Amino acid sequence: MQDASPDRSPPEAAVLRGTNQSGMRDHNERLVLSLVRRHGALAKSDIARMTGLSAQTVSVIMRGLEQDGLLERGEPVRGRVGQPSVPMSLAAEGAFFFGLKVGRRSADLVLTDFRGRMRAARRRVYRYPTPDAVVSFVSEAAPALAGELPPMQRGRIMGMGVAMPFQLWNWVAVLGIPQQEMDAWRVRDIGTELGAALGLPVYVQNDATSACGAELIFGTGERPKDFLYFYFGTFIGGGLVMNGQLFLGRTGNAAAVGSIQVPAPGGGTRRLIDLASMSVLAEAMEAAGEPSDHLWSQHDRWEVSQTVLSAWLDQAAGALAQATLAAAALLEVQAVLIDGWMPLRVRAEMVRRTEAALLGLDLAGIDPPVIREGTVGADARALGAAAIPLSQRYLIDQNAAVREG
């Protein structure tokens, strides 16, 4: 996985006690951890077969990772011949990571363990984000989250990832907020400020790209090597995985799907963001006399009439189908994954309607991708943020030095 660059170098306090001299940047250690994360518990013989490393080398590496508290032993598996094999899996308490999602309506801070499980979370809802509000929130919430760990584990918090929309100052017209309030984002280096406040390395990445990264690192089930990812938040965003790698692009803003021009219901074209965002649903609810504020405070239950919801689903699904067709013609992606800050039943219906709309288009010369639900869910942006320092410190190119078969 490719990651944003850190905004500051990690302090000495961020280094795991007991790591060997080569540190966690050692290629083979990263490779072993990447394989165990991707495939689950593996024995030394499995690692040797998959990497081509000698059994002795693998044994030394895995023993060191076990001593560092990053791998743990499972129950021996006895075969017909020879010594029983011992599967090794990631140790959940081997390392911890903060993930911060800075949204246009709310901020979420989560603490995850080495397996990607959320251990604790805090949320703050606001009318619009400012740097001061975000720094204040993290300064209060991060110590509280760390305090939920036993004292001996707090030194294993290894960094923070920040998932946030790029160029927030350009969204004042859509959000209806004062330009001067958002211009502070032009000059404030939020990564450096948070790193100084926490004493940890901090990495900043686009929010929808981070959500896609969560699907790549923490997602369950079959993960295609090439997929386009849509995430429904206040505005729709996206990410792109090519050959098993998160594709960031030249400036880190690749797969900015919201800017794709798609046919508009009344004729002409409009941006995908104008047709398939949650803000569009909120506007329709308010126009129908239905309050929409609860959309931003919780995701699991929407109080919206079926008439308004169905109209929005049809419009959004039609726009997604058009964007998918354009992407499939250019990139030939295997799958399109749809996730977002929404109830699971709404997500499932969005997938169903998008698939139906895509199959209704002219697909001559196109091998249409499979349309699927994402597997991470509403917290994908915050979990994807936590995946950035995890990947930066412990993982490796997912296609590197692995043998097939």
- State mean pLDDT over 83-101: 93
Separation between Cα atoms, residue 135 and residue 258, nearest integer Å: 27
Same domain, 202 and 244: no
Q: What average pLDDT is seen over the chain?
A: 89
Same domain, 264 and 323: yes
Residue 9 confidence class, pLDDT cut points 50, 70, 90: very low
Q: Is residue 179 scored above 50 in pLDDT?
A: yes
Who's near 165: CB < 8 A, 6+ residues apart?
102, 103, 104, 171, 206, 207, 235, 237
Of 41, 70, 93, the last residue of a domain is 93
Asked if the structure places residue 38 within a domain, the reply is: yes
Residues 207 and 316: beta-carbon distance below 8 Å: no
Of 45, 68, 93, the last residue of a domain is 93
Give the pLDDT score at 80: 56
**CA–CA distances in Å: residue 268 to residues 42, 80, 261, 264, 321:** 54, 69, 10, 6, 16
What is the number of domains present in the chain? 3
Same domain, 167 and 229: no
Identify which of 205, 13, 24, 2 has the alpha carbon closest to the alpha carbon of residue 114.
24
Give the pLDDT score at 8: 39
pLDDT tens, residue by residue, 295-344: 988 899 999 999 999 999 999 999 999 999 999 999 999 999 999 999 99
Give the pLDDT score at 111: 98
Residue 292 confidence class, pLDDT cut points 50, 70, 90: very high
Tell me the residue range of the domain where 25 lies: 17-79+87-93
Q: Which helix (H) or strand (E) holds 160?
A: strand 157-164
Alpha-helical runs (H) found in 247-377: 278-287, 294-297, 306-331, 344-359
Separation between Cα atoms, residue 226 and residue 70, nearest integer Å: 29
Asked if the structure places residue 9 within a domain, the reply is: no
Separation between Cα atoms, residue 265 and residue 315, nearest integer Å: 8
pTM of the model: 0.87
Asked if the structure places residue 4 within a domain, the reply is: no
Give the pLDDT score at 364: 96
Identify which of 365, 339, 395 has the alpha carbon closest to the alpha carbon of residue 30.
395
Same domain, 189 and 112: yes
Asked if the structure places residue 101 within a domain, the reply is: yes
Same domain, 249 and 365: yes
344-359 and 306-331 helices, crossing angle to 10°:
50
Same domain, 224 and 363: yes
- Specify which residues 237 forms β-bridges with: 231
Which CATH number characterizes residue 177's domain? 3.30.420.40
Same domain, 229 and 370: yes
Of 71, 93, 115, the last residue of a domain is 93
Which CATH number characterizes residue 65's domain? 1.10.10.10
Same domain, 235 and 350: yes
Same domain, 251 and 363: yes
Write the DSSP assignment of 175-192 as a string of letters: HT--HHHHTHHHH--HHH
pLDDT tens, residue by residue, 27-86: 899 999 999 998 999 999 999 999 999 999 999 999 999 999 999 998 888 765 666 789
Same domain, 99 and 170: yes
Same domain, 230 and 306: yes
Same domain, 227 and 342: yes
Q: Is residue 360 scored above 70 in pLDDT?
A: yes
Give the pLDDT score at 91: 97
